[in-house]
Chain A
Amino acid sequence: MKLFRFSSPATFYPLAGRLIPWFWGLALLLIALGLYWSFFETPDQLGGTNPQKAYYRIIFIHVPAAWMSMWLYLVLVFWSAVGLIFNTRLSFMMAHATAPTGAIFTLIALLTGSFWGRPSWGTWWDWDPRLTSELVLFFLYVGYGALHAAIDEPRRGDRACALLAIVGLVMVPIIFWSINCPDPNQCAALHQRSSLDRIEENILFAMLTMTLGFWMYSFATIFMRVRSLILLREAESTWVREMLERMK
């Protein structure tokens, strides 16, 4: 079947190698465009009566990073599930390769959120539901990485991490709900409305461009990491030896 052609490390390794420069190029291009747009084409103030000054522009890093942090956790769980169902080694490697990039985006979202909170809320940290949820997501990434690091045997590590990721995904809605609504007596009033529907067009454009740039960056780093993982695990196989022979 065509679909599974690249599920073999031996065929995926060269494919990823060919794709990486393209993803780097797209990432740099999109981030450059997004940064230009966010600095020069967007209004200098945000909001009506009590506007946020130019510091609000941290939104162009903060929001895309937060989106990517959540999206990459879904990607991680997707590859974990595929690995458990089809028993494909490469899927687990993809999941492992995704975790560090996801954790870094979570950390960036937390740090930039804190920098943004200082001028706009007057505090570095607030137990705001979104911030707290992001912190919990960071803990989940850290737990995944710690379990991966603790297990030497690849097969057990792959499957144990995959199971943990899936358990995490089942728990995530419950955890986030409990953070969003600590008092169930008044939950109906506590629904946070998305602020995207009344956003200025240039701001939205810059934010989406940055998100796409971050996404391409994720592809590039994940593929680089997965190539290292493939080499690490397949070092003894014939195709790696043959490839090294050819490189000499």
Chain B
Amino acid sequence: MWPVFLCILGRDIRLALRRRTDVLTTLFFFLIVVSLFPLGVGTEQQTLRLLGPGVVWVAALLASMLALERLFAADYADGTLEQMLLTPQPLFLVVLAKVAAHWVLTGLPLVLIAPLVGLQYHLSETAQFVMVLSLLLGTPVLSLIGAIGAALTLGLRGGGILLSLLILPLYIPVLVYGAGAVSVSDLGFSHTQPYFSLLGAFFLLALFLSPLAAAAALRISTE
């Protein structure tokens, strides 16, 4: 079973690296959105420190969501997806591999660039550390939940904007606890522990349930 997973994961990453702009656009979208906020709300340090966690997390949601449209679209357009649906291997694994590739290409870069963004918002060192950790736990959940929406809206006109309508409300719990963890980290690292427990629980739940739902959605969308 794992060869299938690794094969699709490797293939998707290789394809994306051949067309690097796709990966970079998501990353720069994130950077631009985050950099626009101080220009809009004022550059006072105290305000920025207060807004930072929420802004970074909302920008991460949007960036991850924008890239979702591409999750199945190319494979759907050239017929690869149909072949994947026909393979004897469980569709669960195929979807999981594609989601993992999506996270490596869109979530992981955000996690890595987050400390830089934290500097823009004058976040403390603890807060930056917590932000990286919370993004590391939270962005996979975004990719997992998003896969359901991407599968449902496959090949529809206005798919991208429709996808945001379906998926953004479902991102609320990750946003609340992801940004919340960074906000309370000023009180001490120990205060963030329940947040990480909850984010971890979301991750495990999503890891189990969302590939099932996304696989069912793919079958509905392609039949």
Contacts and interface: CB of A to CB of B under 8 A. Distances in A.
A151 interface: yes
A183 B152 contact: no
Nearest to B177: A178
B24 interface: no
Interface residues of chain B: helix, strand, loop or mixed (majority): helix
A184 to B, nearest CB: 4
A147 B194 CA distance: 35
The 9 A-B pairs with the shortest beta carbon distances in the complex, nearest first, are A184-B194, A178-B173, A139-B169, A178-B176, A159-B220, A143-B166, A143-B165, A150-B156, A174-B173
B221 interface: yes
A146 B173 contact: no
A71 B195 CA distance: 31
B44 interface: no
Interface residues of chain A: helix, strand, loop or mixed (majority): helix
B169 A136 contact: yes
A181 to B, nearest CB: 9
Contact of B217 (A139, A143, A146, A160): A160
A135 to B, nearest CB: 9
Given A136-B172, A163-B148, A184-B194, 6 more contacts: A139-B169, A142-B165, A160-B152, A163-B213, A171-B170, A174-B173
Contacts of A156: 220-221, 223
Contacts of B176: 178-179, 182
B169 A183 contact: no
A174 B216 contact: no
21 contacts: A136-B169, A143-B165, A143-B169, A146-B162, A150-B153, A150-B159, A150-B162, A155-B223, A163-B216, A164-B152, A166-B213, A167-B170, A167-B213, A171-B173, A175-B173, A178-B173, A178-B176, A179-B172, A183-B180, A184-B177, A185-B184
Nearest to B156: A150
A142 B220 CA distance: 21
B198 A184 contact: yes
Contacts of B162: 146-147, 150
Contacts of B223: 155-156
Query: By CB atoms of chain A within 10 A, which of B157, B162, B169, B173 has the most?
Result: B169
A139 to B, nearest CB: 4
B88 interface: no
Interface residues of A, number: 29
Interface in A107-137: 136
A178 B205 CA distance: 15
Interface in B59-84: none
Chain B contact residues (Cβ within 8 angstroms of A): what range? 20 to 34
A189 interface: no
B202 interface: yes
A179 B213 CA distance: 24
A96 to B, nearest CB: 15
Nearest to B213: A167
A222 interface: no
B191 interface: yes
A151 B156 contact: yes
A179 B157 CA distance: 33
A90 B216 CA distance: 21
A90 to B, nearest CB: 19
Interface string A182-194: 1111000000000
Contacts of A199: none
B112 interface: no
Interface string B162-198: 1001101110110011001000100000010011011
A244 interface: no
B184 A183 contact: yes
Given A163-B216, A167-B213, A182 B180 contact: yes
B169 A175 contact: yes
A170 interface: yes
A212 to B, nearest CB: 30
Contact of A163 (B157, B198, B217): B217
